[in-house]
Structure 1
């Protein structure tokens, strides 16, 4: 039963991540309350399976990865290369996605970050619209909303986790025993 609650917490994080991406794109800010809510959702979604299995490996790995990311990105914030919200969001995401899928998240983050930087740095490739004008404004200002690729990579990783968990649960008959 704790598996369903854990998946529900991850599902609840998806619209919050989409909100963070949109808000960061439009205002270049990530609110502390949103990051704290993600932290609670992520910690809860990792705590429930850890309580059920008795293994704290995934939760410990996620906490260590989050701490490592915070420490590694903090100097970039001090040098004004990334925003404080981006650093905090990156530190929370490992708790949200779990330690087992950090490699998938990293690859997706790289792809989405390159795509976001390309859109901001090459706005002439976009169709003529208000969106293109806004992206040109971001390029002129020298800002890349890094919360967008972080959120998109996290959403894709969470969606894959949910899919993988549901496939394993249905093939092993876990969901049939819950009904």
Structure 2
């Protein structure tokens, strides 16, 4: 039962991350409401994981990771290098991902951030005229919607976690007992 609830919350987090990515791309804003919802989903998922494993270590690592990310990114917000929504979103991601998969998230974030920067700096790589025009507008304003690569990396990391959880559950016969 805990596995099903955890998977449901992770699926809801993926949908909310997709919404955040679209909102950040189209308006360059990440709402506090969405970040708080993500935090609640992440805490619930970590709580379910802690009940399954009997260890609260992952929740502690996530809390420390979120705090470190907030403290590290806050000066960049003060210097106007990143937006406040990006800082808050990055601070919440460790609660969604869990402490054990932060390395996977970091590698995915690196890949998606480089891809985003390349698209913003080289809009001629894009096929559609309107999309190219929009990205050129973002480039002229000096704005990069960093919530998009953060959300994409988090979605991929959560999807990998869900896949792994289902494979472990299937291999141990838990899903066969439910049928």
Q: Same fold (TM over 0.5)?
A: yes
Mapped partners of 1:24, 1:61: distance in 2: 28
Unaligned runs of 5+ in 1: none
Unaligned runs of 5+ in 2: none
Mapped partners of 1:158, 1:84: distance in 2: 23
What is the number of residues matched between the two proteins?
A: 179
Q: CA deviation at 1:128?
A: 4.3
- Within-5 A mapping of 1:1-179: 1-179=1-179
CA shift in 2, pair 1:94/1:50, >3 Å: same
> Deviation digits for residues 100-149 of structure 1, max 9, x if unmatched?
11111000000000000110011122224111000000000000000000
TM (norm. structure 2) is: 0.97
Q: State the SS of the aligned residue for 1:29.
A: coil
Q: Which runs of 4+ in 1 moved over 6 A?
A: none
Mapped partners of 2:152, 2:143: distance in 1: 18
TM (norm. structure 1) is: 0.97
Mapped partners of 1:166, 1:119: distance in 2: 35
CA shift in 2, pair 1:143/1:177, >3 Å: same
What is the Cα-based RMSD across aligned positions, in Å? Answer: 0.9
